[in-house]
Structure 1
Amino acid sequence: MIGRLRGTLASKQPPWLLIDVNGIGYEVEAPMSTIYELPATGKDVTLLTHYAVKEDAVALYGFIHESERSLFRSLLKVSGIGAKIALAVLSGVSTQEFARLVQSGDIAALTKIPGIGKKTAERIVLELRDRVDGLGTALPGMAAGGGDAMPADAAGEATVALQQLGYKPPEAARLVKKVADEGDSAESIIRKALRAALGG
């Protein structure tokens, strides 16, 4: 098992990261919540990881916070949810917000996350309601050096990121146009867009 990686962030092409650990490059898939807290490429980074063995491949998923990895692992235990949907959940809402949605049984809000239908949302609430208590109080931290990683075209980067989450291009563009203010970072635009998509 690989539980943690510490090395140099060699490249960042959402949702993929390449971490150079003593000359060995590890390809890691990460949620947007983690990607936008990373330092600039070439800087040191530490990621908590989840190692998964599939029928035809092995995969490595990376997270800045333990609360994100814990939620990812909990989601994988829900029938009908795979890694792609679990990453979309983590990208679409914070762990604290997700905990609130589950504890309140907000099926309508959960189904606004790409890949989650009504039945899947109902299973999430049923199976995770008693297991998300700690997530609501876990405060996210920021990775050192994250500020210099922002793209020049924040709105364009945010639009691409929303498409990676499963939103169709016209919907992603509409959400960004609706919430983006001058001077916003891509992370800020994405957070506001996702909040708007969830009806917040």
Structure 2
Amino acid sequence: MIGKLTGLLTDKNPPQVLVDCNGVGYEVDVPMSTFYNLPGVGEKVSLLTHFVVREDAQILYGFASGGEREAFRQLIKISGVGPRTALAVLSGLSVADIAQAVTAQDSARLVKVPGIGKKTAERLLLELKGKIGADLGAANAVATSDAQADILQALVALGYSDKEAAASLKSLPKDVGVSEGIKQALKALTK
């Protein structure tokens, strides 16, 4: 519902900030990674948000980047992981660190985050496998040009996994156009 806030940063009290948007102050909970990169009080700030409505509260969570917000959304989909735990994970690890931990299935990294035990860490790794690590690892490693990024996105939209799409891009010529690249990748995937 509320996807982005832009306004003046009027208060910083970890993990919450107050953003004044034309006279309306929004309390926004942010991970520490976002908090440390905020401008000073009184300066303009822009945050991507995720709005959570519960029976007893309506809470806005803010993020400096789309990657952080997407990781947060993936984390809260996991049974037993609420917004507070997701914020703790994002405060303790960057999105790239989470992706590396998921790709390597390294629970030791997640256990270092306060509030995450061994069982929760293993559940996070299992649930996030193919969602966070594949997005960052396979897609970024292979998609070197805008055309290849568009081809990869189209293949994923057609229902192929990130791994399958990334593997099909390796066989394409580097200078291939988007439409021709999609055709060639689909031929390679259907063999």
Q: Structure 1 length normalisation: TM-score?
A: 0.67
Which residue in 1 is equivalent to 2:37?
A: 37
**Counterpart residue number, 2:5:** 5
Preserved CA contact (<8 Å) 1:4 1:47: yes
Mapped to 2, the partners of 1:135 and 1:60 lie a distance apart of 26
TM-aligned CA deviation for residue 50 of structure 1: 0.2
Partner of 1:134: 135
1:72 partner SS: helix
Larger Rg: 2
Residue 120 of structure 1, CA deviation: 1.1
- Distance of 1:123 and 1:46 partners within structure 2: 33
Per the alignment, residue 76 of structure 1 pairs with 76
Deviations 1:98-153 (A, max 9, x none): 10011111112211111111111111111101001234559xxxxxxxxxxxxxxx
- Equivalent AA in structure 1 for residue 28 of structure 2: V
The answer on whether the counterparts of 1:67 and 1:135 sit within 8 Å (CA) in structure 2 is no
- Runs of 5+ consecutive residues of structure 2 not aligned to the other structure: 142-191
Residue range with higher mean Cα deviation, 66-75 or 105-114:
105-114
Residue in 1 aligned with 2:123? 123
After TM superposition, the structure 1 = structure 2 runs for residues 36-185 of structure 1, keeping only pairs within 5 Å, are 36-132=36-132, 133-136=134-137, 137=140
Flag structure 1 segments of 5+ consecutive residues without an equivalent. 139-200
Q: Over aligned residue pairs, what C-alpha RMSD do you find?
A: 1.3
The percentage of counterpart residues that share the same residue type is 56
Q: Which moved more, 1:129-138 or 1:25-34?
A: 129-138
- For these two proteins, the number of residue pairs brought into alignment is 138
Equivalent AA in structure 2 for residue 55 of structure 1: E
Whole-angstrom distance in 2 between the partners of 1:94 and 1:134 = 15
User: How far apart are the structure 2 equivalents of 1:68 and 1:45?
Assistant: 16
Instruction: Work out the CA distance in 2 between the residues paired with 1:135 and 1:65.
Output: 14
- 3-state secondary structure, aligned to 1:130: coil
Residue 91 of structure 2 aligns with an amino acid whose one-letter code is S
- Which residue is equivalent to 1:174? none
Structure 2 counterpart of 1:54, which letter? R
By how many angstroms is 1:55 displaced? 1.3
**1:15-51 CA-partner distances (Å, limit 9, x unpaired):** 0100000000000000000011111110011100000
Give yes or no for the alignment of 1:22 onto 2:11: no
Superposed structure 1 runs of 4+ greater than 2 Å apart: 133-138
Write the distance in 1 (CA, Å) between the matches of 2:76 and 2:9. 27
Q: TM-score, normalised by structure 2?
A: 0.70
For 2:136 and 2:6, the matched residues in 1 are separated by 24
